[in-house]
Amino acid sequence: MKISVKVPATTANMGPGFDCLGMALPIYNTITLEETVLPGTGIEINIMADDDSIDEMSLEHIPMDENSIVYKAVKLLYNSIGQTPSELKININSQIPVARGLGSSAAVIVGGLLAANKLLGEPADETALLSIATEVEGHPDNVTPAIIGGLCLSSQEEDGSIVYSKLNWNDDWQITVCIPDYELATDISRSVLPEEVPMKDAIFNAKRMGMFVQAVNNKDKNLLKLALNDKLHQPYRMKLVPGFAEVKENLKHEDSVIGVVLSGAGPTILVISEKTNLERIKGIIKETFENLDVNVQILTLPVEQNGAQIISQED
């Protein structure tokens, strides 16, 4: 049997929502699992890129053996029902840029899990899939919207279960994604974060998270402007992301701009704005990166309301 699963990219944190806010975006990876008939062939993993934004150098450091995160996810699912994966061929068609803060690892984890679950006769429900995906990824902010779609607030509880709530994003608020042509590994981006933060910074972010949920629910632009500020991760990561401070500074007087935040661990930047003056905003972003001599891909994208989906099945 062969199963193919299409999984959206995700952006996480969105300012104050460190490790708990995530949104699905319409860029996709497709993961195909196939049971091979020849005994002893083991695990074969292939990664293919059909988009100019993914270069071969980006894929060289990704494990193609049992150390791959997609295999780890598949193995955990098999083990949960007392089985061990044997002869499997895993193909990853990659359109989500690697190491850019757009959930490329979450996408392959989720795609592998859903495909394996289908191969096994769907023994795992949504709760189990979320828990396994989070165990492999380390936190639920990307894997939850990758599975569920839309904008999700999620938390991993002490027993490993995932609690989430899907929020209704205002379609009048535009998401402009600025993807620079350099990588930033998540472990490097996490290494600059302090082990402890001042109480006042924790309180600041708690206030902003409350504001964020209220602003989204009430479609309150002015409240969202306040809510998108953060003191837990962005101040520490800014030095790793050339262009972030400059884009934020150059857009601060644009009335239609609601906020500028890092996407996940970076280096991708999100500009959240109203629909007016969108071309002017993109022009300012483009000029800012040109002045820094950094190539950037600028995309205005809707929220992807659908999570991972099985797109083909062959017996």
Give pLDDT tens digits for 181-202.
988 888 888 899 999 999 999 9
Alpha-carbon gap, residue 169 to 138, rounded angstroms: 25
Give the C-alpha distances (Å, rounded to integers) separating 58 from 48, 53, 115, 142: 11, 10, 24, 20
CB 51 within 8 A of CB 303: no
Mean local confidence (pLDDT), 84-93: 86
pLDDT at 136: 94
Structural domains of the chain, ranges and CATH numbers in brackets: 2-167+303-314 (3.30.230.10), 173-301 (3.30.70.890)
User: pLDDT grade, residue 56 (50/70/90)?
Assistant: very low
Say whether pLDDT at 235 is over 90. yes
How much is the pLDDT for 60? 47
**pLDDT of 295 over the 70 cut:** yes
The whole-number pLDDT of residue 44 equals 83
Answer yes or no: is pLDDT of 62 > 60: no
Q: Is the pLDDT of residue 215 over 70?
A: yes
Three-state secondary-structure class, residue 167: strand
Give dist(CA 247, CA 240) in Å, integer: 14
Q: Which amino acid is at 279?
A: E
Is pLDDT of 53 > 50?
no
Dist CA 286 CA 298 (whole Å):
8
Which pLDDT tens digit goes with each residue over 18-47?
999 999 999 999 999 998 766 555 778 888
Whether the Cβ atoms of residue 174 and residue 278 lie closer than 8 Å to each other: yes
| pLDDT single digits (tens) 259-278 | 999 999 899 999 999 998 99
Does 118 score more than 80 pLDDT? yes
Q: Is the peptide bond before 85 cis (omega within 30 degrees of 0)?
A: no
| Residue 241 reports pLDDT greater than 90 | yes
274: Cβ–Cβ under 8 A, 6 or more apart, which residues? Answer: 172, 173, 174, 221, 256, 258
Give dist(CA 16, CA 37) in Å, integer.
Answer: 49
Contact call for residues 24 and 154 (beta carbons, < 8 A)? no
Distance CA 133, CA 144 (A): 9
Is residue 120 within 8 A of residue 77, CB to CB? The reply is: yes
pLDDT bin (cut points 50, 70, 90) of residue 156 is very high
> Can you name the residues that pair with 48 across neighbouring β-strands?
93
Q: Which residues contact 76 (CB under 8 A, 6 or more apart)?
A: 132, 135, 136
What sections of 32-175 are H helices per DSSP? 56-60, 69-80, 104-119, 126-137, 140-148
Whole-structure pTM value: 0.92
Residue 233, pLDDT > 90, answer yes
Q: How much of the chain, in percent, has pLDDT values that exceed 90?
A: 78
Q: How does the average pLDDT of the chain come out, rounded? A: 91
Q: Would you say residue 85 has pLDDT above 90?
A: no
Report which DSSP code applies to 42. -
Structure tokens that stand for 28 in this block: 């996709």
291 vs 280: CA distance, rounded Å: 17
